[in-house]
Amino acid sequence: MNAAKLTDGIYKVGVNLPATKLFEGLWPIPKGASINGFVVQGDSIALIDLVQDFQTLPEEYQQELTELGIEQSKVSYLIVNHMEPDHTGWLGKFIKKNPHVKIYCTSKTVPMLASFYDVADNIVPIKTGDTLDLGQGKVLEFFETPNVHWPETMMVFERSSGILFSCDAFGSYGAVDNAKSFDDSVDEDKLKEYENEALRYYSNIVAAFSPFVTRAIKQLESLPIKMIAPSHGLIWRKDISRIIELYRTFAEYATTAGDKNSITLVWGSMYGNTEKALDAVREAVKEANITLYEHRAPDEEIGMALSDIWRSKGIILAMPTYEYQMFPPIAHVLDDCNRKKMFHKHCLRIGSFGWVGGAEKEVKVWGERLKWNMQPSIEWAGTPSEVELQKIKEGVRALIASMHATQTIEA
């Protein structure tokens, strides 16, 4: 791919992870994921972020530099916004080949450069407000933005162009063709697809750090930003408020617990007895004009369900008892909710059992751990009766009333 031009002297050097790869070795990316590095060229040249050392990605990155006429020996600075190896995997090899390059990063990055890549020289730790003048009017200003995503993360603002290199913040999954790198290079349908991929990316990668995202957005408010260039996904220039507001909303779900007009149904069923109750759930949700997202475990990847769980204030867990406990794949989903700090939701659990049940005890423990507001559970032996189906509908109505009644605020 050819590098994409952001403005005179500033380019994106972008590559794509294939759809077959799992992001972080864990999260499915059926639409791929881009890794965006950048070049800022004044009298001297700076690279902002490198690339993962995976398959041919470093070669592709280098090829794009070459096509721009940039020799690596002429690069003076490497700006490391974030040490996660999707952006630094190739750093050790790059620095070995180009030991003259000065690395700009936060102080927390310094020991990580040594432990990850055995790099200890030519490092300049920065503080918020520090600048690097590249000549020809190009000035990089640094902002420490800890925990968006790792503790050492920072962002860079190029003053003459108003471009914010925001690293993982404002990023999304989804491969990007360098020829269509901007929010105005794609149609509305494709933009919506990237926004969905942004939600998936957020819920998988960033959700646990939401208070830091909110803080970073506040910190950047006073900057005259004209373009947002994240390290994953599209570059925003036509409507930067669209991605800022989207991320602001995603981060706010940490305190609002999600959209009060959305419910995510996470369900599993061995022989169909629990599944038989799902139409009652669907009907009651539809009657109330509430959006319902559905995910079956373990058939669907948890990475897919987490985005809908994150954006929904209401959760319905439908599962049978299995060896005196919860159906195991749902326990796995709840464990991930806890790790991603998806707290304060409103929840109804329904499910079938064969003899004496047992899932309920474990559901209670999870409800407390997640600080979820739990409706009384509805359980039945074997197949659900008409009476039980009516009870389920009432349970769903009570859940919705509870979602609408409570303003959840983080303690």
- Judged by the rule CB under 6 A, the positions of this chain that interact with ligand FMN are 269-275, 320-324, 352-358, 382
84 binds, among Fe ion, ligand FMN, none (CB under 5 to 8 A by kind): Fe ion
Q: Which is nearer to ligand FMN, 135 or 328 (CB)?
A: 328
Which one of ligand FMN, Fe ion, none is in contact with 204 (Cβ closer than 5 to 8 A by kind)? Answer: none
Tell me how far, at minimum, the Cβ of 87 lies from Fe ion, in Å: 6
Identity of the residue, 258 or 351, whose beta carbon is nearer to ligand FMN in the bound complex: 351
Question: Could you tell which of Fe ion, ligand FMN, none binds residue 146, using a CB distance below 5 to 8 A set by kind?
Answer: none
Residues numbered 73-92 forming contacts with Fe ion, rule: CB under 5 A:
84, 86
Cβ-proximal residues to 9 (8 Å cutoff; 6+ apart), any chain: 40, 41, 42, 136, 138
Beta partners for residue 125, in sequence order: 105
Q: How far is the CB of 353 from ligand FMN (least distance, A)?
A: 4
Among residues 85 and 357, whose Cβ is nearest to ligand FMN?
A: 357
Residue 272 binding result from ligand FMN, Fe ion, none, given CB thresholds of 5 to 8 Å by partner type:
ligand FMN
At closest approach, how far in Å is the CB of 177 from ligand FMN? 44
The distance in angstroms from the start CA to the end CA of the chain is: 48
**Please, which residue, 120 or 270, has the CB nearer to ligand FMN?**
270
Task: Look up residue 174 and give its DSSP letter.
Answer: B
Residues 6 or more apart in contact with residue 167 via CB below 8 angstroms: 49, 81, 82, 87, 145, 148, 149, 153, 154, 155, 230, 231
322 interacts with, out of ligand FMN, Fe ion, none, CB within 5 to 8 A per kind? ligand FMN
CB of 23 to Fe ion, least distance (A): 9
Which is nearer to ligand FMN, 29 or 330 (by Cβ)? 330
324 binds, among ligand FMN, Fe ion, none (CB under 5 to 8 A by kind): ligand FMN
CA dihedral 7, 202, 49, 227 (to 10 degrees): 20
Tell me how far apart the alpha carbons of residues 3 and 63 are, in angstroms, rounded to a whole number: 9
Among ligand FMN, Fe ion, none, the one that 355 touches (CB under a kind-dependent 5 to 8 A) is: ligand FMN
Nearest approach in angstroms of CB 360 to ligand FMN is 10
Q: Is the Cβ–Cβ distance between 40 and 48 less than 8 Å? A: yes
Give CA–CA dist 217/200, Å, rounded. 19
Rank residues 202 and 353 by Cβ distance to Fe ion and give the closer one: 202
**Angle separating helix axes 188-201 and 240-256, nearest 10 degrees:** 40
Q: What is the dihedral of CA 277, 283, 285, 289, to 10 degrees?
A: 170
Two structure tokens written together for 106: 């936060």
Residues 143-202 that bind Fe ion (CB under 5 A): 149, 168
Length reported for the chain: 411
Shortest Cβ contact with ligand FMN: which residue? 354
Shortest Cβ 374–ligand FMN spacing (Å): 20
Over 196-259, what HEC string results?
A: HHHHHHHHHHHHHHHHHHHHHHHHHCCCCCCEEEECCCCEECCCHHHHHHHHHHHHHHHHHCCE
- Rounded to a whole number of angstroms, the minimum distance from the CB of residue 351 to ligand FMN is 7
Residue 149 interacts, among ligand FMN, Fe ion, none and using kind-specific CB cut-offs from 5 to 8 Å, with Fe ion
Closer residue to Fe ion (CB): 206 or 326: 206
Residue 381 Cβ vs ligand FMN, minimum distance, rounded to whole Å: 8
Do β-strands 312-318 and 259-267 pair in parallel, antiparallel, or remain unpaired?
A: parallel
Residues at the site binding Fe ion, with contacts judged by CB under 5 A: 84, 86, 149, 168
